[in-house]
Amino acid sequence: MLQPLIEKGDIQVVYDQWSRDWTPANAFVNMEEALNANQGQIDAVIAANDATAGGAIQALAAKGLAGKIPVAGQDAELAAAQRIIRGTQTMTVYKPIGTLTKEAAELAVRMAKGESVEANQKINNGKIEVPAVLLPPIAVDKDNMDRTIIAEGFHSREDVYK
């Protein structure tokens, strides 16, 4: 989604680093390095998951920047939902577990029966294009929190708004 904009020059990636083991502590260090390498001039952070988003937000907070730079994560973790409500994380990518498990089970049964399964996309695993069935993710922010992860019972409203 972003790659065409990066290639066109509309988005400039100023720091791209894998946070080892996807831990908040490693993401914290990476975010500190990104801030130092760019004199604090970061327009947005796209984290691999909500845990690494949390580490990045801690580094931003240490510089007084939490809530001033948009941060996106993934997995709709409770801590991320709480950060979204507090305004330090902008959004999380949510993949409804019920939908994922239902689709996976249906695909597994069809494959076990020898029936064909239609892929809707291909993913390159570094060696080959692997057929895949991908379901649409949901971007969750303050505006749709109640209608998504809370309405679906992924997290309770009481827990999210603590």
Tell me the pLDDT tens digit for each residue of 77-112.
999 999 999 999 999 999 999 999 999 999 999 999
Q: What is the mean pLDDT of residues 45-50?
A: 98
Residue 1, pLDDT > 80, answer: no
The contacts of residue 18 (CB under 8 Å, 6+ apart) are 48
Domain 3-95+137-160 has CATH 3.40.50.300: no
How does pLDDT run across 113-146, given as a tens digit for each residue? 999 999 999 999 999 999 999 999 999 999 999 9
Report d(CA 91, CA 94) in Å as an integer. 9
Enumerate the CATH 3.40.50.2300 domain ranges in the chain, comma separated.
Answer: 3-95+137-160
Three state DSSP letters for the chain: CCHHHHHHCCCCCCCCCCCHHHCHHHHHHHHHHHHHHCCCCCCCEECCCHHHHHHHHHHHHHCCCCCCCCEEEECCCHHHHHHHHHCCCCEEEECCHHHHHHHHHHHHHHHHCCCCCCCCEEEECCCCEEEECCCCCEEECCCCCHHHHHCCCCCCHHHHCC
Rg (CA), the chain: 18
